[in-house]
Amino acid sequence: MSRSLKEETDMTSIKPDPAACDAELDASGLDCPMPLLKTKLELNRLSSGAILKITATDPGSQRDFRSFARLAGHQLLHEEAEQGIYRYWLQKA
């Protein structure tokens, strides 16, 4: 039996367990393009399939990380924005 569209949508909106990430990068206080550049360097150290959690304070990081994931083939598993703090869970391709 196939899952309903609602079930599939619910599954993709599940927040990853922060403890399940393989590495964390704190890019707080850095302006564009530094959060993305530091992320690229950190991803180079990780194996394919690894999950990197990034914390940033640059509002432009939302656009940057969405585009970067799409263009580089990585998967943006989850993102959240709360009181000027942006968090991303990125799975390396």
Asked if the model's pLDDT at residue 34 lies above 90, the reply is: yes
Confidence band of 10 (pLDDT split at 50, 70, 90)? very low
Q: What is the pTM of this model?
A: 0.81
Class of CATH domain 5-91: alpha beta
Q: Is the distance from CB of 93 to CB of 74 less than 8 angstroms?
A: yes
Q: Where are the domains of the chain?
A: 5-91
Q: Is the distance from CB of 35 to CB of 5 less than 8 angstroms?
A: no
Write the pLDDT tens digit of every residue in 41-92: 999 999 999 999 999 999 999 999 999 999 999 999 999 999 999 999 999 9
Question: In this predicted structure, what is the pLDDT of residue 5?
Answer: 45
Question: Active-site residue numbers?
Answer: 32
